[in-house]
Structure 1
Amino acid sequence: MLFDYEVLRLIWWALLGILLIGFAVTDGFDMGAAALMPFIGKRDEERRVIINTVGPVWEGNQVWFILGGGAIFAAWPALYALSFSGFYLAMFIVLFALILRPVAFKYRSKRDGAKWRRNWDWALFISGAVPPVIFGVAVGNAMVGVPFYYTDELRPMYEGTLFGLLNPAALFCGIVSIAMILMHGAAWIVLKTEGEIAARARRIGFYAALASVVLFALGGAILSFGWLGGYVLTSTADWAGPSYPLAKSVEVARGAWLANYMNVPLLAIVPALGFIGLAGAAVGFKTGGVERLTLLASGTGVAFIIATVGVTMFPFILPSTIMPDHSLMVFDASSSRNTLRNMLISVIIFLPLILGYTAWVFHVMRGKVTEDGIAKSSHAY
């Protein structure tokens, strides 16, 4: 039963979401902290404190990004081919920004000049702010649809441009993404620092959490009032059939993205948990409550905002604006049954190891980062 083709497709759809959530929750606070660092750190010593809160863990956190890309490549090759080619320039910008982070970490303290360090501080800002915006824009385009179609030989043809991705809905999703990542980064800084640094992070985090609540609610209103059209399957789906994206009928309809919630009202718990997480983070920032609970609430908000997108779009993965019938869906865009089965066995073996290693690293690196501690450490950034 576990290795039935339709079950494997559902499992890998869920695993892809888990990997993306893992990346957003772990590397998200790294990026948020880097984006906030020039504004929260007023002195060089304070900025070094913020850098050293993420310095020991960012490489491990970025593993989730690699895993997500690998999962798309192996489990959803059609999605990989279209997204990584159609969004090529956008992905190149993301990779450039991510490459800036380790370079800035290594080179910032090589010289004592204020201008030198300030320039690397802004490089860190770019490395933290740009990827969340672009990832949010990518999610927005997935919901709006992407201009592609398949030829009779099943060759994917993408007809979009980089600037075509910057539509209003996608830019809105980019704003939602950066707001929640800034909130999450602030929660991490509060947990790992003390004094004025933590106080400034708490103030910024509160407003970022409020902005996330408002923007998330506005996104729900946009869908509820039908201001953003969705996609609906109008033919019978063969969940156990071969991956052939041309054997179905799809229509664009107002309010279609709410169909899953209408059919299964219990799914409303997913966006509800997103709101609860965001609200809990805002309360934690405002009251100065338990710092770990604030970070947990922030991470919950981030996780369930992403999960809401997946639940809303299911079973669609990447709709087509040119030929809706050619849209990629869970049941017609996956790898073969044997590939999904063998990969699942690998995940069952190795994912617990990754989780255990990650937990061990955070346990070892627990505690506050202070200016005195950095001054005494020869390994600090």
Structure 2
Amino acid sequence: MILHTLIDYDVLRVIWWALLGFLLLAFALTDGFDLGSGMLLPFVARTDLERRVVINTVGPVWEGNQVWLILGGGAIFAAWPPLYAVSFSGFYLAMFAILFALILRPVGFKYRSKREDPRWRASWDWALFVGGFVPSLIFGVAMGNVLLGVPFRLNDDLRIFYDGSFLGLLSPFALLCGLVSVAMLTMQGACWLVMKTRGPVAERARAYGSVAALATLVLFALGGVALSAWVDGYRITSIIDTLATSNPLRKTAELAPGAWFDNYHAHPWLMAAPAAGLAGAALALALLRLRREVGALLASSLSIAGIVVAVGVSIFPFLLPSSADPRASLTVWDASSSHMTLFIMLVSVVIFVPIIVLYTAWVYRVLWGKVDEKSVEDPHNHAY
């Protein structure tokens, strides 16, 4: 019963902050190329057979990739209950739109080939596009709203009140963040298709991927400029007990210009994260043009990792700032589950996450290689 004391409460909180970032990053890297391939489907593939090739590059792995999203949601629910309550309640319509779009993907995969009618198949192709575009955009818009602050407040009993609206989430800066997300996941999807296909599909994916990589580079840089010039950040202005039980109202916080850059000023080496976001996109662009397929996907993944980590370290220790009452902002130190709960879940993570990683690596090893028209037409392959 006292094993949880082997790791201090504040250390456990930081570990779970890092684990949440790992799960979200794993989702962005793996399911990211699924979403990107869906967005590119109507454009890189012009015949029915070419579109079947694109679908079959992600068909065997998309369900496994989406496990990371489920694990991320579960981690938020178990490790950061207030964060789960605010985000899944305040962003209800946005979450519903994401779920609706994600449901379109398996339905599209399964139903597209049920009929030979070209209009039927074209309709499902555009449904797969929606299933990729809508989550990519909304995830980015959500990140933008985290940086802006979310209009929620807490009463003395820690009851949550959300004062915002769905349309209120669509500010210019949040939409810019949404475009960064769309661009980087399109880049990831294009690099995946270049690596997994041949011929015209790969060449078109290379062209679209080059544009997406350039857009990622420009939009991410523009987002950094906007964050420094027009978006105020949040800063804790009181002493906070990192070992105390969770209660966001014990601290004070303020909205302050440039506060999101405090961590970079205190620890300049953290600039490696946004630098990786920019350098990865530039390198992906170059490697796509040089026809280095695997290298381009790795560079694209580096860019995504840099962008995601840059946001995480910028807002640390905040998890979800409150624009309605900065004091109610949720942080790593005051929005977690109990010491015991975090420890028990960490033990489970240490056991099961490596198994998931090893199994996922094995699946990708088995499925390594290109998908072509001949393999899709082979009746023994059970292709989509």
The two structures have a TM-score, normalised by structure 1, of 0.98
Give the drift of 1:220.
Answer: 1.4
Map of 2:108 onto structure 1? 104
Match of 1:255 among 258, 265, 270: 258
Give the drift of 1:311.
Answer: 0.4
Map of 2:196 onto structure 1? 192
Map of 1:338 onto structure 2? 340
Instruction: State the AA in 2 paired with 1:354.
Output: I
Map of 2:299 onto structure 1? 297
Match of 2:318 among 310, 316, 323: 316
Matched, 1:376 2:360: no
Cα shift readout 1:92-118 (whole Å, capped 9, x = no counterpart): 110000000010111100110000000
Specify whether residues 38 and 2 from structure 1 end up closer, same or farther in structure 2 by C-alpha distance, changes over 3 A only: farther
Give me the whole-angstrom Cα distance separating, in 1, the residues matched to 2:87 and 2:25.
18
Map of 1:132 onto structure 2? 136
Aligned ranges for residues 1-381 of structure 1 at < 5 Å?
A: 3-225=7-229, 227-289=230-292, 291-378=293-380, 379-381=382-384
- Which SS does the other structure have where 1:246 is aligned? helix
**Cα contact 1:223–1:258 (8 A) shared by 2:** no
**Cα contact 1:190–1:198 (8 A) shared by 2:** yes
Give me the whole-angstrom Cα distance separating, in 2, the residues matched to 1:273 and 1:171.
22
Structure 2 gap segments, 5+ residues each = none
Give me the whole-angstrom Cα distance separating, in 1, the residues matched to 2:362 and 2:48.
30
Instruction: State the AA in 2 paired with 1:361.
Output: V
Cα shift readout 1:111-148 (whole Å, capped 9, x = no counterpart): 10000000000000000111010000110001100111
**Structure 1 segments of 4+ aligned residues over 3 angstroms from their partners:** none
Instruction: State the AA in 2 paired with 1:253.
Output: A
Give me the whole-angstrom Cα distance separating, in 2, the residues matched to 1:373 and 1:2.
54
Instruction: State the AA in 1 paired with 2:252.
Output: S
Give me the whole-angstrom Cα distance separating, in 2, the residues matched to 1:8 and 1:284.
40
Give the drift of 1:2.
Answer: 5.8
Give the drift of 1:223.
Answer: 2.5
Give me the whole-angstrom Cα distance separating, in 2, the residues matched to 1:370 and 1:322.
54
Amino-acid identity (%): 59
Structure 1 gap segments, 5+ residues each = none
- Which SS does the other structure have where 2:319 is aligned? strand
Give me the whole-angstrom Cα distance separating, in 1, the residues matched to 2:379 and 2:263.
54
Give the drift of 1:224.
Answer: 2.8
Q: Give the RMSD, CA atoms, in angstroms.
A: 0.9
> How many equivalent pairs are there?
379
Instruction: State the AA in 1 paired with 2:379.
Output: S
- Which SS does the other structure have where 1:242 is aligned? coil
- Which SS does the other structure have where 2:201 is aligned? helix
- Which SS does the other structure have where 2:51 is aligned? helix
Give me the whole-angstrom Cα distance separating, in 2, the residues matched to 1:185 and 1:104.
18
**Cα contact 2:173–2:226 (8 A) shared by 1:** no
Give the drift of 1:353.
Answer: 0.2
- Which SS does the other structure have where 2:153 is aligned? strand
- Which SS does the other structure have where 1:181 is aligned? helix
**Cα contact 1:280–1:294 (8 A) shared by 2:** yes
Give me the whole-angstrom Cα distance separating, in 2, the residues matched to 1:254 and 1:151.
27
**Cα contact 1:194–1:368 (8 A) shared by 2:** yes
Instruction: State the AA in 2 paired with 1:148.
Output: F
Cα shift readout 1:59-99 (whole Å, capped 9, x = no counterpart): 00000000000000000000000000000110011000000
Instruction: State the AA in 1 paired with 2:284.
Output: A
- Which SS does the other structure have where 1:228 is aligned? coil
Specify whether residues 349 and 121 from structure 1 end up closer, same or farther in structure 2 by C-alpha distance, changes over 3 A only: same
Instruction: State the AA in 2 paired with 1:205.
Output: G
